[in-house]
Structure 1
Amino acid sequence: MAHASGVAASEATAAESTELRLDRTSDGLFLSTSLQFVLPELAEDALYKGIPMFFVVEAQVLRHRWYWSDKQVAQATRYLRLSYQPLTRRWRLNTSTVPFSNSGLGVVLGQNFDDYNDAMAAVQRIARWKIADTAPVEADAIHTVNLRFRLDMSQLPRPFQIGAVGQSGWNVLVSRSHRLMPEPAR
């Protein structure tokens, strides 16, 4: 089990990842964190008008090599779709391992919320997300885990994509790196 004391970087809005935790078990490497950000006012207004917001969470595991650049040993991506249904006044959060398409949602986990704050809390919380299997993450090697959370502008309707170009009011980006040290010999 490793706890974070890494460096956090944020852009546009005051965004950060707190309490980053990596758990190395016999099943794999699991990541848990709490993201802290406020959704930009433009994005929140679009949500209340029924336009869904798409988020992407990416985790990359790199093995440290002193003789060459670090080697990527694992990568995991999670896609989130937050939408508001004005008729029912309910929020819906869909989570998937593949990008959302117009042909349907595919295999996703769906959650409903009565309150905007509850829905955003679910977006900002990542709990025991498996980012790597046990085999590529060697217990005796140094690894770096890079976490990146962002608002996916490419999934928005075209008029919003064009209107959002060059506007910092649409930017949501949280990135953080954490070094995972070798396990002590037993």
Structure 2
Amino acid sequence: MLTLVGCTLFLPVAAGAEAQIKRIEPLIGEGHLTMDLDVNLKLSPIVIDAAERGVPLYFTLDVKITSPRWWWWDRPIVETSLTRRMSYNTLTQQWRVATGDLFLPVSSLQEAVAVLEKVRGWPVAPLDRFDPNTQYNGLVRIRLDTSHLARPLQLDARNRGAWSLTSPWTPFDFSVRKGGGAQ
């Protein structure tokens, strides 16, 4: 049996930050390394206005996990992303937050952002990629992915700082232990 020895990382939220990772918790679930994340998002007025007019917004979480090596650069183990879409239907006046084909209807922009800010049970990688009793380092960030916007908005997004919403890479570390009980 493998158990996870690592950290639950709680970070203070900086005042005025637009995007920040607040909590990172790597977990083991169903033969996978899963992650629970809490994020703080503050959208600019231009982005809020676009969302309220029906422009779907895509938020992407990126994770990189490496194994340290003393003789060369760290060995990459995992590099993956999770994209969520937030959209507003102006005809039905309904907000939706979607991951892939699954969506969750919510009643307001604040509720939609609250759904985006909590990620639970995200399967990052199968456990067979990780050696027992080895320390792994990871980085996580969230960003507004403007590459999914309509072409005219992509051009506008490159020229406006209001569309740039990216958290800094937030580090975490963990190890997988062979045996019983989490430590």
Q: Shared topology, TM-score over 0.5?
A: yes
Residue in structure 2 matched with residue 180 of structure 1 by the alignment: 174
Q: Is the 8 A contact 2:97 2:112 kept in 1?
A: yes
Structure 2's unaligned 5+ residue stretches are none
Note the residue ranges of structure 1 that are not aligned, 5 or more in a row. 97-107
TM-score by structure 2 length? 0.84
Compared CA separation, residues 8 and 62, structure 1 to 2 (3 A):
farther
Shift in Å at residue 158 of structure 1? 1.8
- Give, in whole Å, the separation in 2 of the partners of 1:7 and 1:142: 21
Aligned partner of 1:129 in structure 2 is 122
Counterparts of residues 120-159 of structure 1 (less than 5 Å): 120-159=113-152
Secondary structure at the counterpart of residue 51 of structure 2: helix
Counterpart for residue 94 of structure 1: 98
Pick aligned residue for 1:42 from 46, 59, 63: 46
- d(CA) in 2 for partners of 1:27, 1:111: 26
The one-letter code matched in structure 2 to 1:117 is Q
Q: Is the 8 A contact 1:33 1:127 kept in 2?
A: yes
Shift of 1:127: 0.5
Q: Deviations over 1:121-148 (max 9, x none)?
A: 1111111111111111112111112112
Give the corresponding residue for 1:103: none
How do 1:7-18 and structure 2 match up within 5 A?
13-18=17-22
Distance 1:8 1:136 in 2: 31
Cα distance in 1 for residues equivalent to 2:17 and 2:62: 19
Amino acid aligned to 2:75 = K
Q: Deviations over 1:20-41 (max 9, x none)?
A: 1111356121111110021111
Tell me which residue corresponds to 2:109.
Answer: 116
Query: What RMSD, in angstroms, separates the aligned Cα atoms of the two structures?
Result: 2.4
Change (3 A) 1:7 1:121: closer
